[in-house]
Structure 1
Amino acid sequence: MASIAGSALSFAKPVKVVNTNSLSFSGARKGNAFLRLQPVPMRFAVCCAAKTDTVEQVCEIVKKQLALPDTTQVVGASKFSDLGADSLDTVEIVMGLEEKFDISVEESSAQEIVTVEDAASLIDKLVSAKST
């Protein structure tokens, strides 16, 4: 079975990928049949999950920095903006993370932080680089 952009196709014979826009396959009839596909924008996110303890520590710093009630649930997928953080709050969170983990976050990297998981992954990366 071949899967194309979320749609499932099944073929009785093997499928050969020719390029990103077409597939060729042997049909039941004489010759080859071609299926032309329109390019479909795809998004791929390649990331390594941050360590659980790093995520938990970032959650605590975010809750403290934003003065969130203890009942507020903050998890790896939590977006700073959804928690009420503005750009100044985000800068203060990054400063708190730098102090806690004894790291230095470049401004370009800090601007890419949107979620708790983003922050935790960056921290793990910087701490790992620092120790080597």
Structure 2
Amino acid sequence: MASLAGTTISISSRPWQSLQAAKEFSSVKSISFSSIRKSLPVIRLRPASSRLQICCAAKSETLEKVLKIVKKQLALPEGTAITAESKFSELGADSLDTVEIVMGLEEAFGISVEEESAQKIVTVKDAANLIEELVKSQSC
């Protein structure tokens, strides 16, 4: 018997099918499967907050360089406060500005950013983390 956010799904011999059903519910915080038969495994997914999260923390030098490039590309006044969590959209950047920022980062760091990766950049921290990842992959 499996329970998905208040909805009960009964399964007999294929518990893995319930995993497919669980993927359809984006608001599900916890999934638990159990079986009367001892031969079937018990699968429990924990809430997202308790899952292992891997984070790439960019070096402070990389972050500072990214901050300078963003300020320059967006022509922000000297007193404008920008942090790692600053979103490009909050700084007034449109899609063209974001492309120019990525081009500036590519030139400054000697890297090439794929379009798919560039579209995932939302914050200054995202850009710095991506740069660290690309620089590291080039050196290996």
Structure 2 unmatched runs, 5+: 1-29, 34-44
Matches within 5 A, 1:70-81: 70-81=78-89
The 5 Å alignment of 1:101-116 reads: 101-116=109-124
Amino acid at match of 1:71: G
Deviation at 1:69, TM superposition (A): 0.5
Offset at residue 40 of structure 1 (A): 8.7
Partner residue of 2:32? 21
In the alignment, is the contact (CA less than 8 A) between 2:31 and 2:46 conserved in 1? no
Identity score, percent: 62
The number of equivalent residue pairs is: 98
Residues 16-68 of structure 1: per-residue CA shift (max 9 Å, x gap) = xxx8438xxxxxxxxxxxxxxxx997466532111111111000000000000
- Which SS does the other structure have where 1:119 is aligned? helix
Higher strand share: 1
TM-score by length of 2: 0.64
Quick check: 1:63 aligned with 2:63?
no
Name the SS of the counterpart of 1:98 in structure 2: helix
Structure 1 position 87 matched with structure 2 position 92: no
What stretches of structure 1 move > 4 A for 4+ residues in a row?
none
Q: Which structure shows the higher helix fraction?
A: 2
Contact 2:87–2:124 at 8 Å: present in 1 too? yes
State the alpha-carbon separation in 2 of the partners of residues 114 and 47 from structure 1: 16
Residue identity opposite 1:110 in structure 2? A
Paired residues for 1:21-40 under 5 Å: 21=32
Q: In the alignment, does 2:131 pair up with 1:120?
A: no
Q: Which is further off, 75-84 or 47-56? A: 47-56
* Alpha-carbon distance between aligned partners in 1 of 2:47 and 2:55, rounded to the nearest angstrom: 19
CA RMSD of the aligned region, Å? 2.2
TM-score (norm 1): 0.68
| Contact 2:106/2:113, CA 8 A, preserved across alignment | yes
